[in-house]
Amino acid sequence: MKTLDEILAFAANVDGQGIEDHQNCTYMRSELFALASRLYDLRLGARIVEIGVFGGRSTSLYLQLQTTQAFDIHLIDNWSWNQALAAHQFTNLILDNFNEVPFTLHKMRSDYLGEFYWTLPIDFIHIDGWHDMPGIEPDCRLWLPHVVSGGIAAFHDSDSPAVAECIQKYVNDAGWELIETAHRTTTWRKPCLT
């Protein structure tokens, strides 16, 4: 299994883009560290869902561990924002480096998939789609109920007003445990049913 440092080194320097290159990467090293650290807590065969993939930098964390951990990885994005740049970066990062690693790509809106099709339990969900209320509210309402007891949810840009409001309503008020805050990313553990 790759070490945490190996995973972060790959994600931090893709195509020569440093981790602080905010034109192409909106994650600080501390945020990628927080996400990657949670992956080691997951069971073999855990189901991972990422809402909002864009160029795939955070996605690369899961894919690097898939072969040893047998993760069931689901990526959801309709790439309606800056489609040309996202497609270029996703191809260079994910398709060129992980072409033999299994994952499922759902090229559609997360609210549509969540409302009409998704029925599977989720061990780890990373929500990084639209950060306005019409985007984040359905992501929380439709997807968080699928997270298993003791499962993990990560939110990027958790300091934006709509995301913070939805975290308060759907996570904090529901008794989830805050695991970590790293810059603009928070990770939470769903209460274990007794």
**pLDDT exceeds cutoff 70 at 168:** yes
Q: Assign domain 4-189 one CATH number from 3.40.50.2300, 3.40.50.720, 3.40.50.150, 1.10.1040.10.
A: 3.40.50.150
Give the full edge-to-edge strand order of the sheet including 104-106: 104-106, 72-76, 47-51, 122-127, 147-155, 185-189, 177-182
Residue 121 has pLDDT above 90, yes or no: yes
Question: Containing H/E element for 125?
Answer: strand 122-127
What is the structure's pLDDT at 25?
A: 52
Provide the mean pLDDT of the chain: 91
> Which region among 4-8, 9-13, 21-25, 90-94 has the lowest average model confidence (pLDDT)?
21-25
Lowest-pLDDT range of 6-10, 61-65, 72-76, 139-143: 6-10
CA dist 102 and 178 (Å) reads 31
At 29, the pLDDT band (50, 70, 90 cuts) reads: confident
- Confidence at residue 93, expressed as pLDDT on a 0 to 100 scale: 87
The residue behind tokens 């970066």 is 89
- 54 or 188, which is more confident: 188
What local confidence, expressed as pLDDT, does residue 16 receive?
A: 46
Which of the four pLDDT bands, split at 50, 70 and 90, describes residue 13? low
Per DSSP, the residues of 42-105 read SPTT-EEEEE--TT-TTHHHHHHHHHHH--EEEEE----SSHHHHHHHHIIIIIHH-TTS--EE
Q: What are the domain boundaries of the chain?
A: 4-189
Q: For the segment 141-160, what is each residue's pLDDT rounded down to a tens digit? A: 999 999 999 999 999 999 99
DSSP label of 146: G
Report how far residue 99's alpha carbon sits from residue 5's, in angstroms, rounded to the nearest whole number. 22
Check if the beta carbon of residue 33 is closer than 8 Å to that of residue 19. Answer: no
